[in-house]
Amino acid sequence: MYEKYRRFMEGRYGFDKLGGALIITGLAVSVLGRILWLVWLSRLSIVFYILFALRFLSRKEYARSRENRVFINLWSNTKDFFTRDRENYKYYTCPVCRTKFRVPKNSAKGYSTRPMCPKCRNEF
């Protein structure tokens, strides 16, 4: 039995962070649908589960890994946005090399009125 399963799963994409997010979202939507007595939310959760199953069993590894990469980038940008310490720091992104850095608000610390990228020394 194990051998049949192993042969079936050969070349399949499997589980990743986007798959985990689809399952958690489906579960959250399902619970919310049960609490609020909204049938359409419970049916929407089934869509998330089907998407997970299709991605899990897919043989198109490049397409699935690209989707996962886009999801991870969006997730990290969202997480960074909400975890910034805006009280003490100003955050900048260099327009030339796209390096993200922060500068303390109360200190000039080597910066003129315009910040300078620590990587490429571009002043903007």
Instruction: Identify the three-state secondary structure at position 3.
Output: helix
In a shared domain, residues 95 and 122: yes
Same domain (yes/no): 58, 95: no
Instruction: Check whether residue 44 and residue 88 sit in a common domain.
Output: no
Sign of CA dihedral 31, 36, 37, 41: negative
User: Do 44 and 3 lie in a common domain?
Assistant: yes
Note the pLDDT tens digit of each residue in 60-107. Answer: 999 999 999 999 999 998 998 888 888 888 889 999 998 988 888 876
Average confidence (pLDDT) over 3-24: 92
Asked whether residue 53 falls in the same domain as residue 88, the answer is no
Query: Among residues 63, 92, 115, which one ends one of the domains?
Result: 63
- pLDDT band at residue 108 under the 50/70/90 scheme: low
Residue 97 belongs to domain spanning:
80-124
